[in-house]
Amino acid sequence: MKIIVGLGNPEKKYLRTRHNLGFMVVDHLAQQLEMECNQKKFQSLFCKKAIKEDGEIILLKPQTFMNLSGIAVKEVVDMYKCALQDIMVVCDDLDLPLGKMRIRRNGGCGGHRGLESIAACLGTTEFSRLRVGIGRPTVGDASDYVLSVFSEKDEAVVMKALEEASQSLKIWVFEGIEACMNAFN
């Protein structure tokens, strides 16, 4: 079983904001895999599909708001008794340029409150993460910036990032973290 968690905030007003890039990646991947995250389970929007001969993939979009994402992730991990190496969390990253990706087997949270919540609820940072860059604002407050929508000029970069992130997740699911990191880092 593989669990892919996209981080974001529920509610329509956050739909296309930078902080919802994790949700956008999961939605893009779901479309490619002919899945739809519309079932409400684990305080999340959830979907599950059989893959390979002996496995399943779960896509999860916690509806607990970013800073409480760990509650939803812990519920699904506990239910399915999923190994930590079979969890991939997708989130935005202020410290990466717009559209750039970084995939890690584990590591720190880098001040990302969603990752911090997951680490606190799971009691470890030993889960994989795919960070997708949103860039850092040159002026103004970072919290206002992450909750702002992408500009029209950023849309092409964002669409390319969604495609690359989806491709990287498929490699992670079918070939593992090493192949994923080698192909995209």
CA dihedral sign, ordered 145, 146, 151, 155: positive
- For 9-29, the pLDDT digits (tens) are 999 999 999 999 999 999 999
- For 66-105, the pLDDT digits (tens) are 999 999 999 999 999 999 999 999 999 999 999 999 999 9
What pLDDT was estimated at residue 51?
Answer: 86
User: What phi and psi values does residue 70 have, to the nearest 5 degrees?
Assistant: -60, -30
Look at the pTM and tell me if it is higher than 0.75: yes
What pLDDT was estimated at residue 55?
Answer: 86
Whether residue 155 has pLDDT greater than 90: yes
| Catalytic option among 2, 18, 19, 28 | 19
Q: Indicate the pairing of strand 44-51 with strand 55-62.
A: antiparallel
What pLDDT was estimated at residue 175?
Answer: 94
> What domains lie within the chain, and their CATH numbers?
2-184 (3.40.50.1470)
- For 123-132, the pLDDT digits (tens) are 999 999 999 9
Instruction: Respond yes or no: is residue 19 known to be catalytic.
Output: yes
Whether residue 165 has pLDDT greater than 90: yes
- For 35-61, the pLDDT digits (tens) are 999 999 999 999 999 987 778 999 999
What pLDDT was estimated at residue 54?
Answer: 73
